[in-house]
A and B are shown apart, each in its own frame.
Chain A
């Protein structure tokens, strides 16, 4: 139990589907993150939310749409994805800048 829970753990979707990844943190943190991990590449930061406000959007295609309804929940809405979007999507949280960052178990996404 890491304190950061992601669902679903595995997702297979077609290129025309719409799906969402969900993340919930039980640590009382005020910052939440989405990262993408592809094979043989470093983790790529996608989005950062601090106090429910998006503070960073790292040139992520619009087919990925984040939502942070409150400081404990973070969603990643997916639509019209491409096969190259298949990866492990990791959610993380921290108690603001400079503090230890805690990751969830990740959601394995396969786009067919």
Chain B
């Protein structure tokens, strides 16, 4: 059974710093991995989708890396801003025993950027 872990559960950093969020998963047989952000009381916004054959994906100040063999992904945020404060979730996509797609989520890292 796939398990996704995100450590730490919460992180506070001063504005302007670069930071790294971690995601680890137990089953390396994944199809892809997706990073999301969730603002309080809101739904999830997709940030980056990284395929299992890729090593990294970039969008603006965000860079996601994937090391499938070691079961790890990182989300790098450059020059952090107060607007980056949110909970960041990673989700790995695999397939269950019936061949149906299954997205397994971590519990997220709650990020606070201090002005």
Residues of A within 8 A of B (CB): 2, 4, 6, 40-43, 45, 48, 55-56, 90, 92, 97-98, 100-106, 108
**A55-B100, A105-B42 given. 9 additional CB < 8 A pairs?**
A2-B43, A4-B43, A6-B43, A43-B105, A92-B44, A97-B31, A98-B31, A101-B103, A106-B41
- What is the bound-complex CA distance between A56 and B100, given in angstroms? 8
- What is the bound-complex CA distance between A55 and B32, given in angstroms? 20
**How close is A54's CB to chain B, nearest CB, in angstroms?**
11
Is B45 a contact partner of A41 (Cβ separation < 8 A)? no
Is A48 a contact partner of B4 (Cβ separation < 8 A)? no
Dominant secondary structure of chain B at its interface with chain A: strand
Residue of A98, A105, A106 near B101 (CB, 8 A) is: A98
Q: Please provide the chain B residues from 66 to 98 with a CB less than 8 Å away from any CB of chain A in the complex.
A: 89, 91, 93
Number of B residues near A (Cβ < 8 Å) is 23
Residues on A with C-beta less than 8 A from B31 are 97-98
Q: Which residue of B lies closest to A94 (CB)?
A: B101
Q: Which residue of A lies closest to B42 (CB)?
A: A105
Residues on A with C-beta less than 8 A from B42 are 105-106
Is A101 a contact partner of B43 (Cβ separation < 8 A)? no
